[in-house]
């Protein structure tokens, strides 16, 4: 199995480059995000049995009922989060396998990431530390509550769908801060919430299909 991963690694830059072409064709134009995604070995974030599918533009299972997000969605959400002026401090709700975390860590100063499922948190942390990321702070907790002790954040990104907008997350934004979150159950909307001097704006980005956000006490 180890040899399989090594073999994938030898050709992964070529396959990553092909994925980036597909993302451009799908309408992703943020070169900051595309450059980072071209540099990250996505096959290391999935089970070895799925490594050959790592550079397809599709979500893949990572165990515990969770998935690694479709690359197009990662690119879209990250582009929206960066905006014109990249945020310094970002909260990620739902570490999962750590792929979105790795993308963020290459683009912002500090990433605070919260995961509800301990096995995923442990493996993601081990993987990300092994890859040399030193600007990520981890927490095992209910992500729908955010991370009040570290708030406010310049941006918050949620990688699983909440049945309704968690007000705790919205309140942990700095003025001008952005929250990108999928909301809904059977029908889900990817929404952008921006905190302004007068309150909040709420914009529908597109219809999506995410796994449900896991909440409750750890």
Q: How far apart are CA 55 and CA 78, in angstroms?
A: 18
Q: Which residue in 12, 39, 69, 123 is the catalytic one? A: 69
Per DSSP bridges, beta strands 153-158 and 89-93 are parallel
Residue 39 annotated to the active site: no
Q: How far apart are CA 183 and CA 174, in angstroms?
A: 21
Is-contact 37 72, C-beta < 8 A?
A: no
Q: How far apart are CA 145 and CA 139, in angstroms?
A: 12
Angle between helices 31-39 and 71-82 (to 10 degrees): 130
Q: How far apart are CA 4 and CA 67, in angstroms?
A: 21
Active site residues: 69
């Amino acid at each position: 199995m180890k040899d399989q991963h090594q073999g994938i690694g030898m050709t992964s830059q070529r396959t990553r480059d092909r994925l980036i072409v597909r993302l451009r064709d799908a309408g992703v134009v943020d070169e900051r995000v595309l450059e980072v995604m071209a540099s990250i070995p996505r096959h290391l974030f999935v089970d070895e049995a799925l490594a050959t599918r790592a550079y397809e533009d599709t979500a893949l299972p990572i165990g515990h009922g969770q998935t690694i997000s479709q690359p197009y969605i990662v690119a879209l959400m990250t582009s929206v989060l960066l905006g014109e002026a990249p945020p310094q401090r970002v909260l990620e709700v739902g570490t999962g396998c750590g792929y979105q975390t790795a993308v963020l860590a290459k683009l912002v100063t500090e990433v605070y990431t919260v995961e509800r499922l301990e096995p995923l948190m442990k493996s993601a942390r081990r993987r990300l530390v092994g890859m040399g990321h030193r600007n990520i702070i981890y927490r095992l907790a209910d992500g729908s509550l955010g991370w009040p002790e570290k708030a406010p954040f310049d941006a918050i990104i949620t990688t699983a769908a909440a049945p309704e907008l968690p007000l705790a997350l919205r309140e942990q934004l700095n003025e001008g801060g952005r929250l990108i979150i999928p909301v809904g159950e059977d029908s889900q909307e990817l929404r952008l919430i921006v905190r302004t001097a007068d309150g909040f704006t709420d914009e529908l980005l597109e219809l999506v299909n995410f796994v449900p956000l896991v909440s409750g006490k750890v």
